[in-house]
Chain A
Amino acid sequence: MHYRRPGLDRLSHALLVLCCLLFLLPVWLAFTASTHTPGELYSQTAPLWFGEAGWDNYRHLLDGSVGGLGTDVLTLLINSTLMALGIAIGKIAISVLAAYAIVFFAFPCRRLCFWLIFITLMLPVEVRILPTFEVVADLGLLDSYAGLILPLIASATATFLLRQFYLTIPPELVEAARIDGAGPWRFLRDILLPLSKTNLAALFVIMFLYGWNQYLWPLLITNDADYLTIVVSLKRLLTSADGLVPWQDVTATAVLAMLPPIAVILLMQRYFVKGLVDSEK
């Protein structure tokens, strides 16, 4: 039979393994570099294996004795976590409600509301940097968690994904709930939310990664290092020293900035893939 070709399969495996290793290389090198002293790093090209200074490098970062940041990396990690969770939960919460209203209720301007949310897809933060900054400044939200989170929690994507899912709920189910005397809030809490658990998990992964990896927005609105996120702090580290880049600190911070989102994506991979692929439809 011509269908299977063992030779081609073996070639595929070989190339796949090679590519997996190549994709790992930048992370591996950052990880090994983060365990060396600056002296060791600058005496050769980047080391492929671990050094002895790992504990010291990471401890100095976490207890805040590394200059140039103005804060310790533990604070940065906490800020990033709060921002990512706030954005993920906020986006999901307001999108659940909006999609519920659009699908299950009749009200004037239903289509208009739908389009207003839809159009936000065309207005990412990046195209309206300055005016958004001014609005947030006028509201007194600079250097605050609310300022980091609120402007980013509108979500056309989540609203659409949930709307698509709600449209597949059979009308008989709503009818049955109504005959049993359930009002709209009761139906939402006891029937709709439990049914959409998988979709919510999928959205959570995508939105958590989105929130954790934000760069431009936190860069704009945080002057105070106490509200800085770990992803944004990297540039400060890179440019803090006048001469040589303190690569042991930069790579260690990069490793710490990568670990939480990578853990989330690997642990919730099934939901993540479902969420991504569903969002295409």
Chain B
Amino acid sequence: MSAPFQRHRLTPWILMAPQLGIVLVFFFWPALQAIEQAFYVEDAFGLSREFAGFANFQAVLSDKAYYQALGTTLIFSLAVALGAMSIALLLAVMADRVIRGARIYRTLLVWPYAVAPAVAGVLWLFLFDPTLGLISGLLGNIGIGWDHKLNGVQALALVIMASVWKQMSYNFVFFLAALQALPKSLLEAAAIDRAGPWRRFWTITFPLLSPTAFFLLVMNSVYAFFETFGTIDTVTSGGPGGATTTLVYKVYQDGFVGQDMGASAAQSVLLMALVGGLTWFQFRYLERKVQY
């Protein structure tokens, strides 16, 4: 597009300055420092440091706990994304069916999006409190003892449930919007050809929703990666025995709690590379997704 205001030389820089300033000071400067720190070893008091090459990376990548965190992150992200998306899709398809009331259902289902991940964690922690929780009590009645402070699998399940509960509404809004924008003529033609609702869904609706689904898969993974920090910190603090320590939580633990700067920085750099790769992948794919 040709820029209409050609003759103003200084004005665009004044306009750009605040955003660029913030970006440079709080994003690029720290990111560069993280990269630099990742190549140094610091003593315990932060008084001296020396160049260490790839030693920090080697230490991180030969640490069993790192792979445990990687595995936890993958399971956690996959479970959150699939759980939140499938429930949302089911509900959106039903809300789209009923025509009357779709907007009321949207209102009734959208609000969990506004609940902070940390607050969602607290709500679910209360449901599963070993002494007075409602659901843990019900589970106890049928012979399943619940204690997420000791049982790693239960702790992970609890964090997943709280995250799915919060993220569902986001997916629901997108699926409902996508469903309502589908060409009705296609579905009507299929109905005239005597295709039932089940068949119509799998042969027409579902393929047409795939761009939305792919977009949501990326967004849900990002959510599970980063925004669930609050949930994990309030519910389990990464425990028991690291069962709920994700990669992001480990960066925080090693750097802030454990004061191991080099290891934390090396993990930060690895994470940046991972997120960069994901973003690149998303945009490559999103370029093509538009034609269906």
Stretch with Cβ within 8 A of A (4 or more), from B47-55, B60-68, B116-124: B116-124
* Cβ A117 vs Cβ B23 within 8 A: yes
Chain B 221-272 interface residues, beta-carbon cutoff 8 Å to A: 225-226, 229-230, 233-234, 248, 251-252, 255-256, 261, 264-265, 268, 271-272
Asked if A277 contacts B25 (CB within 8 A), the reply is no
Q: Which residues of B contact A276 (CB under 8 A)?
A: 170, 173-174
Known: A171-B4, A231-B116. A128 touches B34 (CB 8 A): yes
Cross-chain contact B114 with A265 (CB below 8 angstroms)? yes
In the complex, residue of chain A having the shortest beta-carbon distance to the beta carbon of B33: A131
Residues of B contacting A44 with CB < 8 Å?
132
Task: Tell me, yes or no, whether B137 is within 8 Å of chain A by CB.
Answer: yes
Contact with B along A1-40 (1 / 0, CB 8 A): 1110100110011011001100101110110010000000
A161 to chain B, nearest CB (A): 14
Does B160 touch A at the CB level, under 8 Å?
Answer: no
Residue numbers in B under 8 Å from A272 (CB-CB):
110
Give the complex CA separation of A12 and B134 in angstroms. 27
Residues of A within 8 A of B22 (CB): 94, 150-151, 153-154
Contact status of A277 and B173, CB under 8 A, knowing A120-B27, A184-B5, A216-B252:
yes
Question: B30: which of A134, A244, A261 is its contact (CB, 8 Å)?
Answer: A134
Q: A120-B23, A232-B118 are in contact. Are A13 and B11 (CB under 8 A)?
A: no
Count how many pairs of residues, one from A and one from B, have CB atoms less than 8 Å apart in the complex: 296
Given the complex, which residues of B lie within 8 Å of A5, measured CB to CB? 197
A100 at the interface (CB under 8 A from B): yes
DSSP class of B's interface residues: helix, strand, loop or mixed?
helix
Docked Cα-Cα span, A104 to B129, in Å, equals 56
Whether A26 pairs with B229 at a CB distance below 8 angstroms is no
Report the minimum CB–CB distance from B118 to chain A (whole Å).
5
Does B110 lie within 8 Å of A12, measured CB to CB? no
CA distance A272 to B55 in the complex (A): 47
Name B86-136 residues within 8 Å CB distance of A.
Answer: 87, 91, 94-95, 97-98, 101, 105-120, 122-127, 129, 131-134
Counting CB contacts under 8 A, is A59 at the interface? no
| Max chain B Cβ within 10 angstroms of own Cβ: one of A93, A105, A212, A277 | A105
Q: Is A29 a contact partner of B127 (Cβ separation < 8 A)?
A: yes
**A128 and B31 within 8 A (CB):** yes
Are B13 and A123 neighbours in the complex by a CB distance under 8 Å?
no
Q: Which of A110-126 contact B (CB under 8 A)?
A: 110, 113, 116-117, 120-124, 126
Task: Return the CB mask of B191-221 against A: 1 if under 8 Å, else 0.
Answer: 1101011000000000000001001000000
Interchain CA distance A254-B235 in the complex, whole Å:
13
Stretch from A63-71, A196-204, A245-253 at the B interface: A245-253
Indicate whether B165 reaches chain A with its CB closer than 8 angstroms: yes
Cross-chain contact of B97 among A9, A26, A120 (Cβ < 8 A): A9
List the 10 shortest-distance A-B pairs measured between CB atoms, nearest first: A215-B230, A131-B30, A213-B116, A101-B15, A105-B12, A12-B94, A106-B3, A261-B114, A131-B33, A98-B19
Q: List 17 A-B contacts (CB under 8 A).
A: A1-B191, A9-B98, A16-B105, A23-B112, A29-B134, A46-B137, A94-B18, A97-B18, A101-B13, A127-B34, A127-B251, A128-B30, A135-B25, A153-B22, A216-B229, A235-B234, A265-B114
Binding site for A on B (CB under 8 A): 1-6, 8-9, 11-13, 15-16, 18-20, 22-31, 33-34, 37, 87, 91, 94-95, 97-98, 101, 105-120, 122-127, 129, 131-134, 137, 165, 168, 170, 173-174, 177, 187-188, 191-192, 194, 196-197, 212, 215, 225-226, 229-230, 233-234, 248, 251-252, 255-256, 261, 264-265, 268, 271-272, 275-276, 279
